[in-house]
Amino acid sequence: MSEKKVYVCSLLTMRYFGFVILFVSVVLSSCSNKYQKALKNPDNRVKLEMADAYYKKKDFVRAVSLYEMVEEAFSGTPTAEKVLYNSAQCNFGLKMYALAGFQFKTYFENFPSGEHAEEALYMNAYCAYLESYDPELDQTDTYKAIETFRIFINVYPESKYVPECNNYLDKLREKLSFKAYRTAKLYYDMGEYKSAIVALKNISRDFPEMPQKEEVDYLVVKASFLLAQNSIETKQLERFQNTLVAYEDFADQYTEGSKYMKEAKELQMKALTAIKKIEKEIKKS
């Protein structure tokens, strides 16, 4: 291809892209002008129409700002239900989950028989779920999400959302159990065996479905033994006896199938040996 032809093609390409950029700029400018006019228009119905148009296009930023402007004007009218629901969906689309959850809850409370009442109560719980933090952080929102999902299931036990609610509840409980597990392990690793035993027993009782349950129950045995071993003489007998009780509880649950059974039996034998030695010393005195 000659240099002249290349130059002409390049020129045409540049002009084509130039027209495209100009067209897009005009469209965006037109849209922006329409939005600005809608904001300044004193007619709330015009604002609402524009809000609905932006909502359908998923332009949630513009839609929600217009819905917020007309919310008070349509309060107490049949239109208020749509305004609140669409506004909540806009904030959800913008990942403003706390605000969206509040709006969905408000919708359900104000319109319990409304078209979107069931969905709104579910979305309130789902927003709380999305707001819950990782196990390493504060779990206040996790407890809140669990409570809101339970409320939904109680109100709509036959809802199509119930399986999803149960799935999210399992994930939320897994967060709580893992946080509790890490706390108990921290006590154990720091040698705070008395606190570790209490924490380990609590999570074994509260989260029987947790994946670490077998390890947790074994650690109760080991922490009991280490607590006895590191105690003053006057408390050792009772605490070694507690180790035997912990072992029996563990053995009753897991029989020979546990990967921790060998270590647990060794701790049992050491505890029995220590008890015999202590009892022998007591008889001598």
CA separation (Å) from 78 to 38, 84, 102, 235, 277?
22, 11, 20, 73, 83
| Residue 48: domain span | 23-115
Please state the domain count of the chain: 1
Residues 108-131 pLDDT 10s: 999 999 999 999 999 999 999 998
Q: Residue 133's pLDDT is what? A: 73
Residue in the block written with tokens 């890490």: 182
Q: Is residue 86 part of a domain?
A: yes
**Contact 197/220 with Cβ under 8 angstroms?**
yes
Q: Is residue 239 part of a domain?
A: no
The C-alpha angle 139, 140, 143, rounded to 5 degrees, equals: 90
Q: Residue 35's pLDDT is what? A: 73
Q: Is residue 162 part of a domain?
A: no
**Contact 135/178 with Cβ under 8 angstroms?**
yes
Please determine, for residue 38, whether its predicted confidence score (pLDDT) is greater than 50: yes
Q: Is residue 154 part of a domain?
A: no
Full-model pTM: 0.75
Q: Is residue 77 part of a domain?
A: yes
Residues 22-32 pLDDT 10s: 333 333 344 56
Q: Residue 40's pLDDT is what? A: 64
Separation of alpha carbons 78 and 75, rounded Å: 8
Q: Is residue 181 part of a domain?
A: no
Q: Is residue 236 part of a domain?
A: no
Residues 69-101 pLDDT 10s: 999 999 989 999 999 999 999 999 999 999 999
Nearest to 211 by CA among 160, 241, 239, 174: 174
Q: Is residue 170 part of a domain?
A: no
User: For the domain that residue 91 is a member of, what is the CATH number?
Assistant: 1.25.40.10
Q: Which residues contact 110 (CB under 8 A, 6 or more apart)?
A: 80, 81, 84
Long-range pairs for 44-48: beta carbons < 8 A, 24 or more residues apart: 44/69, 44/70, 44/73, 44/74, 48/74, 48/79, 48/83
Taking phi over 0 as left and psi of -120 to 50 as alpha, with beta for the rest, 213 belongs to alpha
The CB-side HSE value for 186 (13 A sphere, CA atoms) comes to 7
